[in-house]
Structure 1
C-alpha cells in the first residue's frame, strides 16, 4: 500500500495513510496548543485497538460469567430478586437483568450482550454497539454487586468515556462503509480524549495516595504479606512467595510506578511507549502470579490508548497484509460486503448535528466529574453529607491502606430429613482441618469475591446463601435438607493460628 493513497484510488480495496498528523481543527480540541494536543490526543489506530480489545474482553467476560449464570443472576441463586431489591433498591430498578429471575431471561441477555460485543469488535454500527454493550454491562454489574472487583469498575468507566470517541474510524466495517471518508490515522483530540487518558492516570495516582497512607506499604511489607494469602496466589505466585527480598523490591517498585503515573500523560513518542510497556508488563506479572479478576486486563485496555503514533506506524505496517487480505476477501464477495455495510444513519441528520454540538459540553463534563470524583475520594474535597454515594468507598485502593493479613475457607454442613449430617459446600470437600490449598476452595475470582464478602455481610445476605445451599445440597444428595450451618475458618497468613466464625444455622425453606 502506498502511503497517502486515497481509498479506492489505485487499489481494489481501501487503503489509508499510515502517518498521522495533528490537524488544525479537531472539534472540541481545535484550540488546544499543539504541545497539549499531542499529549491528550489519541491515535485513531489506538482507539481501534482499544475497541477490538474491549470487544473481545467483553466476550471473554460473558463466557466466564456464564459458568455461574444460575448461581449469580437467577432467583434460584445466591441473590434472588426480592432480596436484591431489599438490599439494593436503586440497582434493582435500573437493571434489565432484574426484569425476570428465570434462567432463560439471563441467558437471552447474555447472548444479546455477546452479539453486541462482537459487533463492537468488528466495528459495525460502532457507536450503537458500544452504547448497547455499555448499557448491558452496567445492567449485569447492577444485578449482583457482590461478585464485582476493581477490574469490573475500570472496564465500565473506560468504556463509558470511550463512547464519546470515534472508535470506528479505523480497522472497522464502519470505516470500510465510509469509503475512507473518515478512515484516517488522524488523532482524536479534545475533552473526550483528555477524559479517557486522565481516568487511567487517576486510577494509578489515587491508588498511590492510599498506599502512601499505608504503614504496610511504606514499610515494604504489603506485597510479601499479600503473597502469603493463598486465595489470591495462582500460577507462578506460590514460587515467588518464597523470595521475600524480591517481594519487598516489587513492593517499592509498584509504589514508585504508581507515583510516576502522571508521566504517562507528560511523555510522548518512544518515551511514552516505553512507559506503557512497563505498566503493561507489571499487569502481565500480576496476571501470572495473582487472581485479581479482570483488573489487569481492564487496565491494559486503558493503557492501549496511550501508545503513540510511532508504535502504530509499525503495527500497521506489520498487519497491513492482513488488512489488505480481508479487504480483498470482502471485495470478492459483494453480497457479504453489502450486507454488513450500514445503508443509512441510525439518527436523523438534525439530531446528529445537535449531538455533535453537545459533544464538547458532554465530554468536558465527563472530564470534570472524573477529576472531582477522585479528588473527593482521597479526601482533598469534602463530600456532602447527603451525597447518595461516597467516592471514598468506590475508589482505586487495591490492597491499600490495609492489605489482607488472613486467609480462610468455608465449612457448610446440613442435616437431612433422616438426621444425617452432610457436607453441602458446593466447590470443594472442606472441613475444619486446613485444605491442601485454600485457593482451591474458591472456583474462580467471582466466587472468591462473593464468599470473602459474605463473612462481613448482612444477616439477610447470609440467609440467601443458606437457601442456595439448601437447594443445591438437596439436588446433590438427592434428599430433603432441614437446616444448614455456615462457618468461616480464619487462618493467619503468618502462622497456623485459626479461629472459627459462626455465620449461623438456618432452617431450609423446603423443610
Structure 2
C-alpha cells in the first residue's frame, strides 16, 4: 500500500526543483509586466486608490477586513512604496528560483503575492489563482532539496545520511490534488448546452474579440462540426485528465503522457488560438510536479548521448562550477556543525495540509452546488479569506460570454468636438476597430476593462474615468479656448455574438458612466 501511495502522491525532488525555478522566474516576469501599470493599478493616482480598496475589504467579514490593514500594498498609495514592494518581491522570487532558504522565501513570495492580489483584485485572471494556490502548497514541501543553493540532499550526503529521491506527504498529495480539482470543477461548472449538448462553446470562445488572434479568427471559418468536436474534446480532456493522472497502473508513463497532452493543450491549442495572457504558462506550471523519475532518467540518458562539445561542454562547465561553489558552502556548514536538514514533514505540517485538502474539496463542491454543500463550509469561510484558499475555476463557464465589444471614453469639449481618451485623444469613432485585441496594452489592462462592463463593477467606473482624465490633463495642462473639457462619458459598444450561421448583429452603444466635468 505504501508503494501505491508513493506512486500516486509522491513527487520526484527534481520535479519539485524545476517547479521552484519556474515559479521564481514566472513571478519576476509577472512583476515586470505589472510594473508597466504600477501607477495606474496600484497607487492613489490610479484607477483604484487605497481608500477605495480598504472600503471594499472593510465591507466584508471580519477576516476579510483584516486584509484591508494587513496587506503591505495598502500601507501607502504612494508610488515609491509600491516600487519598493515590487523590488522586494522580485528579490524574494530570485532567492526562491536559486533555492536560497527556499522555504522562507516561498512563504514570503506567497505572502507578498496575496498582498499584491488583494491590493487590486479587479486586474486578476484565473492564472493568478493558480499561482497563489501553488505557492501555498510549496511552502510545505522540501523545495531546496535539489538544484539549489540550500543543497539539502548534498548536505544529507555530507553527513552520510540516506539521500531521498522523492517526497511523500499530505502536502505533496495536496499540490497534486489541487491541480486535479481545477480541471474537475472547471468542467463541472461548464454545464450549459453550449458545452454539453450544442457543442458551440469553442465557436463562441473564438468569437470573443478581446481574445481573438488571427489564427483563432481563421478557425471560425472551419466547418461547424470541427468546432463542435473541439468543444467536446476540450471538456472531455478537463473531465478525464485529472483522473487519468492518478492511474495506479503504469503511473510514470501515463503521467508523462498527461503532461505532454496538457502542455500542448495550453500552449499550442489555447495559447495559439486565443490570446489569454499568462494563464497558459501558469497552467503548465501546475503539471511540473507530475513529472516522474522516468522522465528525468530518460532526459539524463539523452543528454549523455549528445557529443561533449560546443554548447553542452559550456553548460556542463558552468554546472560543475556552480556545484563546486555550492559544495564549498556545504563544507563550511558541516564544519560549523550545522543541523542535519529534515526533509520529512512535521506532524503539524501534515495535519494542516490534510485539513487544507479537505477544505479545498468542500469549497469547490460548494461552488458547484451551494444548496447541498454550502452549509459544510459556511462556518469556515473565514479560513478561506484569511489564507486565500478560496477558489473558483469558472473559466468560460457555464458558457463563453457572448456580449463582445469595445470601449470608448468620449470627452466632449466646449467647441462641441469629441475625442477618445482610449485612442490617444483621436476624434471619437463609433466604427468597429480593425482589432479589438490590439486596443489593450496588456492582459491586466484588458481584464480590468472587461470587468468594468459588468454591473457589479459599476462603482469602479468613476475611478477609471477620473484616472484617465488626470493622465490627459498631465499631457494637456493648458487646453486652448474651446478645447476645455465639458463632459466625459464611458461607452461600451456592445456587439453580441450571433449563433452559428446567423447574420451578424449591429453594435449597440451602451452608456456605462457619464458626468459633467468640474474638477478631477
Partner residue of 1:154 out of 100, 118, 130: 130
1:165 equivalent in structure 2: 141
CA contact (8 A) 1:415 1:421 kept: yes
CA contact (8 A) 1:426 1:472 kept: no
Give the drift of 1:367. Answer: 1.5
Give the drift of 1:349. Answer: 7.7
Give the drift of 1:461. Answer: 1.1
Deviation by residue 1:434-469 (Cα, 9 ceiling, x = unmatched): 111111222222111111111224443111112112
Asked whether 1:232 is paired with 2:211, we answer: yes
Asked whether 1:198 is paired with 2:177, we answer: yes
Partner residue of 1:305 out of 289, 295, 299: 289
Deviates more, 1:190-199 or 1:244-253: 244-253
Report 1:430-445 matches (<5 A). 431-445=429-443
Task: Return the alpha-carbon distance in structure 2 between the equivalents of residues 343 and 392 of structure 1.
Answer: 37
CA contact (8 A) 1:416 1:479 kept: no
Task: Return the alpha-carbon distance in structure 2 between the equivalents of residues 65 and 501 of structure 1.
Answer: 30
1:242 equivalent in structure 2: 221
Cα 1:184/1:506, change in 2 over 3 Å = farther
Task: Return the alpha-carbon distance in structure 2 between the equivalents of residues 331 and 251 of structure 1.
Answer: 48
CA contact (8 A) 1:375 1:381 kept: yes
The alignment's C-alpha RMSD in Å is 3.1
Report 1:249-328 matches (<5 A). 249-261=229-241, 262-267=243-248, 268-284=251-267, 285-317=269-301, 325-328=317-320
Greater share of helix residues, 1 or 2? 2
Deviates more, 1:264-273 or 1:239-248: 239-248
Task: Return the alpha-carbon distance in structure 1 between the equivalents of residues 345 and 245 of structure 2.
Answer: 31
Cα 1:79/1:400, change in 2 over 3 Å = same
Task: Return the alpha-carbon distance in structure 1 between the equivalents of residues 439 and 284 of structure 2.
Answer: 29
Deviates more, 1:220-229 or 1:473-482: 473-482
Indicate the SS of the match to 1:286: helix
Task: Return the alpha-carbon distance in structure 1 between the equivalents of residues 414 and 40 of structure 2.
Answer: 24
Task: Return the alpha-carbon distance in structure 2 between the equivalents of residues 232 and 40 of structure 1.
Answer: 36
Task: Return the alpha-carbon distance in structure 2 between the equivalents of residues 141 and 342 of structure 1.
Answer: 40
Indicate the SS of the match to 1:170: coil
Calculate the TM-score normalised by the size of structure 1: 0.84
Calculate the TM-score normalised by the size of structure 2: 0.83
Partner residue of 2:150 out of 156, 160, 174: 174
Give the drift of 1:179. Answer: 3.4
Give the drift of 1:255. Answer: 1.1
Task: Return the alpha-carbon distance in structure 2 between the equivalents of residues 304 and 263 of structure 1.
Answer: 16
Partner residue of 1:44 out of 2, 7, 13: 13
Task: Return the alpha-carbon distance in structure 2 between the equivalents of residues 354 and 266 of structure 1.
Answer: 25
2:492 equivalent in structure 1: 488
2:32 equivalent in structure 1: 63
Task: Return the alpha-carbon distance in structure 1 between the equivalents of residues 390 and 176 of structure 2.
Answer: 23
CA contact (8 A) 2:28 2:90 kept: yes
Task: Return the alpha-carbon distance in structure 2 between the equivalents of residues 83 and 51 of structure 1.
Answer: 35
2:75 equivalent in structure 1: 99
Deviation by residue 1:322-360 (Cα, 9 ceiling, x = unmatched): 77533532477x6x976899969xxx989x999833121
Give the drift of 1:122. Answer: 0.9
Partner residue of 1:214 out of 185, 188, 192: 192
Give the drift of 1:143. Answer: 0.6
Asked whether 1:501 is paired with 2:510, we answer: yes
Deviation by residue 1:71-117 (Cα, 9 ceiling, x = unmatched): 10111110011111122323432321111111111111111111111
Partner residue of 1:359 out of 349, 357, 378: 349
CA contact (8 A) 1:127 1:163 kept: yes
